[in-house]
Each structure stands twice: as structure tokens, then as C-alpha cells.
Amino acid sequence: MDKKNTIIGVLLLAAAFGSLWVSSKFTPPSQPQPAPEITRTVGPNQATSSATAAARPTSPPDAAFAAVAKDTGDARIVTLANDVIAVNFTNQGGAIRDIALKKYDAEKKHPGVPYIVNQLHADPALAFVDYPGLDRRTRYELVSQTPTEVTFRTVVDGTLEVTRRYTLVPGNGDAKADPYQIRYDTTLRNLTDKELPRVRTQLSLGTAAPVDVNDYGVYLSTGYYDKTDHFVKRSDLEGGGFLSWIGMGSRDPLRYIENTAAITWASVQNQFFTSILTPDQSGAGLITRRVELPSFPGTMQPAIGVTGAAQFDLPVLAAKGEIKLGGGFYAGPKEYSRLSNAEIFKHNQDAVMEFGMFSFFSKILLTLMSWVHKSGASWGVAIIITTLILKIVFLPLTLSASKSAKRMQKIQPEMAAMKEKYKDNPQKMQQATMELFKKHKVNPMGGCFPILITIPFFIGFFSMLQSTAELRFQTFLWAQDLSAPDTIATISLGFMNLPINIMPILMGATMIIQMQLTPQPTVDNAQAKMFKFMPYIFALMCYSFSCALSLYSTINGIFTIGQQLVINRMKDADDAPAAEPIRGGRPVKNVTPAKKK
């Protein structure tokens, strides 16, 4: 059995190292992305009012990817800006070409160059996608422009007049407005004496791209809310799968995913940034597609993004009548403290954080961590203090669990002997086990139940740290970015480049020490082997995670080590003396003769 379990452990380690090698092999080398160009503001200008198509690529209906749209040379750009964003509007589609986030850098190495939402895209944000004669290729004329408002107008085939007005919040600290949110109002007016039929159309949400060359797209998704939140992952559109590796079939990539629902809001997001469309009237659904963006510099691996479009059912447009579409469009960071402001975001837009099933606990802990940071602590120190607060709050429960584990460990020799004695009589063994527990005042659930209560908080903390925009590019000790691995050097091994990440190594070391100090409430050899290899496997699994997660786990482990050292020295008044081994159903007494004086 020992040999078998050792082989299993070695195989698990080999599998973990193999996954690390595969990850490194197919991960492009980290290269600095060129600084995005900041679009210069263009003053008021007039464009033709015709619906002439601009020379932009469109995707064939059966294309696996949506095509990347590009402005033609005669595109007219108008920029509105406040304290936090600069929004570039284009007359091609009469919509938002891109949004520069002034307070968020595109790269750590290029401070002051803003991150741009929807920089490369399938459609300008809020452009009509499939309305007949009205889409991203339609030319609009600029009707008016002020420092906070811009209005476009076009006429389609002499029958339909479309007016689009966008209003930017000045960013003056108004408690009832968010400076990252843009108000849009669209009016469709029938110019004929005949009614126009009802039609289903789409408004683009924009395109979310990987944040850097090391972004695997795990957080790329679209989402919508219809009394509950739903998300479509980029991976949901991808083909392949595990079965394709072994030649047993695979799923073909999907061209798009269509969700039909009365949506209150719809979104598209990557790990740290999001665009959220909140219409005045409910939408009819969401379309999600992939977009193949240009490769990052120095790599051949394409950057696959996602694009979304919210569907709307427009009613019959009466002769000389008009229809209005309006709402709010948020383009900015995934900051829970901002998106949870119910006075502005009234429909649970903070769900775009995607904290998962333990979101309640993630929100509590993120609020606490943000409060600690606002008190003057750096984000790294805020993580440490929040971790310690969490450990102290649950200290009574963990002490109770540890004491129970100590008691359970003391009776293991007697438990093993009982299993051997009553191996052919399960009912008798169960009865004897309960009597043993009663004799030594051991609660078999005493070591599990207190820990189960703490698990949602720790998983919630773990989930929260993965997509918190506030941690991006924040330094701590030797780590240059808490949202990324704390790589201090890279070793070339010929077949792979091995990054040296310190935090995961410290995390693994604390887990090994903690495992050695913690009483093991079992003598089962298979379980003991599994516990022995677990720290190594867990450290390898987390090796490429953000160092914020490793920092949290390391501090958690150091606290637990100190706690366990204290517990191991504590005497339990309820403990009976260590159980004596059983032979033949009776305790073996110590018959060693006393030493002669």
C-alpha cells in the first residue's frame, strides 16, 4: 500500500509539473505592448446625411469570428471628456468608437498612457448592428456639439430619420451620477405617410479584449440581467475539449450564442474593465460572438476577444410617428464600491464582478479591504490586515476544530485496533466506535463543522482578489503588480522558460509547515499520503495566479502556524490520557518492572 500511494503521489506531482510545462510552452513570451495612441480632439464638422457605407469589413454569416472594424480615412471623430474619461465618437455609425480611462494606465511601463475600452472592436459601442440600412457603416452628420453633449443625425433611404444624442456627466462629484456613465438618446422618426413594420435590432456593447499577453481569456465574457445575472464565457464559444485530445470527438466552435430574455442590462467585460448598457426599456436578448484581434507584439498567438449586442424589439412605427431608445452606458473599471452604489446603479450592475456562488462573502470582504485601504494602508497591507481580521474573527471556531483534531488523533491507535478486531462485524464496530467517542469526549464532527462555517469566507476572499481592478499595477514589497504573478527572474531550461515567483513558493512552504504541525485525525495511509503531497500540488496550481492570492494564502498560513504552535502546547482539561493499544480486545498494561534503587 505504501509503495502504491507513493507512486500515486509521484504521478500527481508529475502531472502538475506537466501542466506547468504545457502552460509555459504555449504561453507567448511577455513583450511590452506598444503604447496606445491618444486620439486628438476634432472640432465640429459636417458629414453627409446619406446612409452611404464606409469601407469597413463585415463578417460573413457563417464566420467563426466577428470582423474587426476600422475607420476609413475620412472618418469624423468628436471627443468629449471629463475628469476620468475621454470618449471618441465617430460619424460612422453615429456611436462611440472608444473610451480612454484617464485614471487607469494601459501598461505598467508606460504611466500616463490610458487604458482604452473598445480600442479594437467589431462595432463602435451603441452602434446599430443589423437594422436594415442602419449599422456601423452608416454615415451621420454632426448636428451639434458642446463640452458635455454631441448630437448626430442621418436619414435612411428618405424614409427614416435617426437622431442620436450623447451626454457626458461632467465628473463634478454629483452623488446621483457616475462620471464613467454616458447617457444616450436615440429617436427614430418615420418620414413617410405609411407605417413601418416592427423590427428586432441590436445595439453593440463594444468589444472586450485580453488585458495583456498573459491573459488567457478566463474572465472574458458577456452578461445580462433578468431578475438574476447570467454570463456567457468566451470558452462557451470555443470548440475542442478534453475528448478531442484523445480522439473521441469534440465540439465545433460556435459562431455565436443567442440568449433570449427580458434584459434589464447587458455587459461585456474582461478581467478588470467592463461596458454595461442599461436601457430605459427592457431588451429582448443578447448576442455573443468572438473577435480575432491582432496578435500581441512579438507573438504569433492571436488575441481573441468577445463582443456583445443587446437585442431590442421595436414596435410598428406609425406614419409620421417616432420611437425613442435611451439609457445609460457605463464604460470603466470593475470597481465594486462604484457599481454597488444603488442610487446610481439600481439594477444590481455590480454582478459583473462575477464573484460566483460566494458573492455575498466576497462583497463583504472587498468592502472591508477597501475601507482598510482608505484608512491609509497600501493595497498589499490592506490584504494582510483583512486576512488577519478574518482569521481573528474565526479564531474560536478554528481553536475548537484544532482541539477536536487533537483528541481524535489521540484515539487513533485504539480506533485502528477496533477496525482490525471488528472488521467482519460493521454493526459492532460502529457501536464500539460510538462508545469510544463518548469515553474520550470526542465529537466526530467537531473538527469539520467549525471549518465548514469559515470556508465560504475564504473562498469568497479568494474569488474577490482575482478581478478587483483596484489591485492592477499596485506594488507591494518586490511585487510590481498585485494582480499578476510576482516574477523576479526567468530561467531558460531550453524547452521552456521557468518564471521564479516568490509568493507561491512562500505559500507552499507555509502549507508544508502547517501540515506537519497539524494533528492528523486519521491513520489511513492513503489519506496521509494525499495530505503530504497536497501543498506541493496546490502551490504548483497557484504558481501563475496573481500574487495577491498568494499573499493572502501566505499570511493565512503564517497565522495558522502560530495558532497551531500555541494549540499544540495547550492542555485540554477534558482530554483523557493517551489511549493504550488494544490487543485481543483488552488494553495492554505497562508491565515494565520498576528500577531497583
* pLDDT tens digit sequence for 78-99: 999 999 999 999 998 899 999 9
Residue 387 confidence (pLDDT) above 90? no
Using pLDDT thresholds of 50, 70 and 90, give the confidence band for residue 60: low
Query: Average pLDDT of the chain?
Result: 77
Last residue of a domain, one of 337, 353, 369: 353
pLDDT value of position 594: 55
**End-to-end alpha carbon distance in the chain:** 47
Cell, residue 508 = 507552499
Residues 347 and 400 placed together within one structural domain of the fold: no
Residue 327 confidence (pLDDT) above 90? yes
pLDDT value of position 440: 67
Residue 330 confidence (pLDDT) above 90? yes
Give the CATH number of the domain where residue 137 resides: 2.70.98.90
Which residue carries 504548483 as its cell?
A: 540
Residue 188 confidence (pLDDT) above 60? yes
Range among 370-384, 464-478, 480-494 rated most confident:
370-384
When pLDDT is averaged across residues 43-58 and rounded to a whole number, the result is 35
CA distances (Å), origin 121, targets 58, 116, 204, 305, 308: 12, 11, 10, 9, 10
Domain-embedded: residue 47: no
Q: Could you tell me if 419 and 582 are in contact, meaning their C-beta atoms sit under 8 angstroms apart?
A: no
Residues 404 and 348 placed together within one structural domain of the fold: no
pLDDT value of position 67: 82
Residue 398 confidence (pLDDT) above 80? no
Which residue carries 474572465 as its cell?
A: 219
Q: Could you tell me if 164 and 139 are in contact, meaning their C-beta atoms sit under 8 angstroms apart?
A: no
pLDDT value of position 12: 46
The one-letter amino acid at 343: E
SS3 category, 508: helix
Cell, residue 544 = 501563475
Q: Could you tell me if 29 and 299 are in contact, meaning their C-beta atoms sit under 8 angstroms apart?
A: yes
Give the Cα separation of 54 and 75 in Å (integer).
Answer: 9
**pLDDT tens string 115-149:** 999 988 889 999 999 787 888 888 999 999 999 99
When pLDDT is averaged across residues 410-439 and rounded to a whole number, the result is 73
Domain-embedded: residue 543: yes
pLDDT value of position 307: 94
Q: Could you tell me if 395 and 563 are in contact, meaning their C-beta atoms sit under 8 angstroms apart?
A: yes
Cell, residue 384 = 494582510
SS3 category, 324: strand
Residues 516 and 443 placed together within one structural domain of the fold: yes
Higher pLDDT, residue 60 or 564: 564
Residues 303 and 421 placed together within one structural domain of the fold: no
Domain-embedded: residue 286: yes
Domain-embedded: residue 43: no
Query: Which H, E and C letters describe 144-200, residue by residue?
Result: EECCCEEEEEEEECCCEEEEEEEEECCCCCCCCCCCCEEEEEEEEEECCCCCECCEE
Domain that holds residue 91: 77-353
Domain-embedded: residue 591: no
pLDDT value of position 467: 77
In 3D, which of 231, 213, 211, 215 has the Cα closest to residue 223?
A: 231
Residues 394 and 331 placed together within one structural domain of the fold: no
With pLDDT > 90 as the criterion, what percentage of the chain qualifies?
A: 30
In 3D, which of 438, 461, 297, 453 has the Cα closest to residue 369?
A: 461
Split into its structural domains, the chain has a count of: 2
Helix-then-strand count for the chain, H and E: 12, 21
Higher pLDDT, residue 594 or 392: 392
Residues 7 and 108 placed together within one structural domain of the fold: no
Higher pLDDT, residue 174 or 383: 383
In 3D, which of 409, 444, 425 has the Cα closest to residue 518?
A: 409
Cell, residue 60 = 460573413
In 3D, which of 548, 518, 558 has the Cα closest to residue 534?
A: 518
With pLDDT > 70 as the criterion, what percentage of the chain qualifies?
A: 74
Residues 327 and 400 placed together within one structural domain of the fold: no
Domain-embedded: residue 597: no
Residue 564 confidence (pLDDT) above 80? no
Residues 453 and 394 placed together within one structural domain of the fold: yes
pTM for the model stands at: 0.76
Phi first, then psi, for residue 310 (nearest 5°) are -85, 135
Using pLDDT thresholds of 50, 70 and 90, give the confidence band for residue 572: low
Domain-embedded: residue 133: yes
Residue 421 confidence (pLDDT) above 70? yes
**pLDDT tens string 529-543:** 666 777 777 777 777
Which residue carries 512552504 as its cell?
A: 509
Residues 282 and 392 placed together within one structural domain of the fold: no
pLDDT value of position 29: 37
Cell, residue 310 = 443587446
CB atoms within 10 A of CB 467: 24
Residues 334 and 482 placed together within one structural domain of the fold: no
Residues 193 and 274 placed together within one structural domain of the fold: yes
pLDDT value of position 524: 56
**pLDDT tens string 271-303:** 899 999 999 999 999 999 999 888 887 777 778
Give the Cα separation of 121 and 98 in Å (integer).
Answer: 9
Residues 349 and 388 placed together within one structural domain of the fold: no
Domain-embedded: residue 44: no
For 212, residues 6+ apart whose C-beta sits below 8 A from its C-beta are 33, 107, 296
Burial of 147 (C-beta count, 10 Å sphere; 0-12/13-18/19+): exposed
CA distances (Å), origin 439, targets 44, 357, 404: 88, 40, 14
